[in-house]
Amino acid sequence: MNKVAKPRLKPDSLALSLYGAAQAVALVRAGTALPPALTRVAQTLGLSDAARGAQQDIAYRSMRQWGRAGALLALLAARAPQEPLLASLLGCSLALLCQDDDGSGTRPYTDFTLVDQAVAAAAADPKTAHAKGMVNAILRRFLRERAELLEQVMREPAGRWNYPAWWITRIQADYPEQWQAILAAGNAAPPLTLRVNRRQTTVAACLQELAAQGIAARQIGTDAVRLAQPLPVHAIPGFDQGRVSVQDAGAQLAAPLLDVQDGMRVLDACAAPGGKTCHLLECADIDLLALDSDGERLQRITENLQRLQLSARLQQADASNADWWDGQPFDRILADVPCTASGVVRRHPDIRWLRRPEDAARLATLSAQILDNLWRMLKPNGKLLLVTCSLWPEESEQQAQAFGSRHHAIRLAAPGQLLPGADGEIDQDGLFYALFQKPASGSNAATQ
């Protein structure tokens, strides 16, 4: 992993945040997911909360525009920059300069300010200081020839849609009627949706509390409230006290589909970071085991449980094995299995640049092993909910059909494939749901 330097830049300056974003993007291009990359860089640079927020905003904007930025850089630079930090700094700067707006009708920074601060960021690091003149020249040339250059890069799919070419081809093949809307939705910033903790409050009370603080919001689901404008989580009334959590509207369908009842023994496999775990506990008094193979991610479940004043048994283990199971079957199993996360790229725009075409088949094989393992742990007449946040059929519908056929499972009504973006009143991520019931002993299974 690349070493993160600490440049001499003014605290809370755009140059420092731009430099931090470029460092994080360089780590993404080397294979690190964006959230941990941002955290590592921010800690190394000692960024303030304000600078850290600007760093994150720039990095996320850049990842959503990376196809276009890369195409522009190829046109503007005689040779592709070999230094990862330099290439990322130029890419982030071009992404911001070519972005139409930030939702308010204007670009987030003026052209002059952005160019000036990009040059300052380049000058502050020994690896890029020699190229500060080139940074200035490339960005100023873009401003002079913006219309012509953008027209040229928009002719190429990656420049037009900001996805790898293979990703665009797949979406076109799998969703021939909706492909443009799906790609466009993935390039938009997601809405901020809350899940109201029914154990502590009600949707009506939550809306009243928000309104009293001048925060516009509306109900969009049984426990779901959509804010008109996103806010930092700790600025949301009731968040720190556990009255609300942030959870996508599509993700909030999982707990109601499982229909948990008081006294049930429930398994949440692949549970981290715990949003669905907590929702299940908010719905009924159940004996819940939250399983995950990642110890650090399990800690996030613990933090969520503590904030919401809920309790569950947590265990670090591999859901594809049975060495952790005590032999007692479960009434309900939530199987939010590993996948490419191709349906949540608007929340995680780095995913499209980290994934490879072969990943879906590899992860589908692992998920099938997990599902087969979990099925034997389910009681007769019990229910298993298969969830993925993928748009690729081999991870979703094809997986569900193959699983149901292998185990003669009863398939119950569930939403199937959700598409990202607006769907009437709901604006959701691209999740997939398939609900199965285990036949009673000796009965013949049927698909419903």
User: What residues are annotated to the active site?
Assistant: 389
Spatial distance between the Cα atoms of 375 and 246, rounded to a whole number of angstroms:
30
Give the bridge partners for 289, in sequence order: 267, 313
| CB burial readout 248-282, b (16+ within 10 A) else e | bbbbbbbbebbebeeebbbbbbbbbbbbbbbbbbb
Give the bridge partners for 225, in sequence order: 194, 219
* Pairing mode, strands 313-316 and 287-292: parallel
> ∠ CA(22), CA(27), CA(30), 5° rounding?
130
H helices, E strands: number in the chain:
18, 13
Tokens of 90: 């130029």
> DSSP label at 32?
-
From the list 363, 369, 375, 254, the residue with the least C-alpha distance to 318 is: 369
Spatial distance between the Cα atoms of 265 and 286, rounded to a whole number of angstroms:
6
From the list 27, 34, 52, the residue with the least C-alpha distance to 341 is: 34
> Which residues lie closer than 8 Å to 252 by C-beta, 6 or more apart?
193, 195, 221, 222, 223, 224, 279
319 in the Ramachandran plot: left (φ > 0), alpha (ψ -120 to 50) or beta?
alpha
Spatial distance between the Cα atoms of 344 and 355, rounded to a whole number of angstroms:
13
Task: Give yes or no for a contact between 290 and 334, defined as CB atoms under 8 angstroms apart.
Answer: no
Tokens of 236: 């949301």
> ∠ CA(270), CA(271), CA(277), 5° rounding?
150
**Beta strand segments in 206-284, E:** 217-219, 224-227, 244-246, 265-269
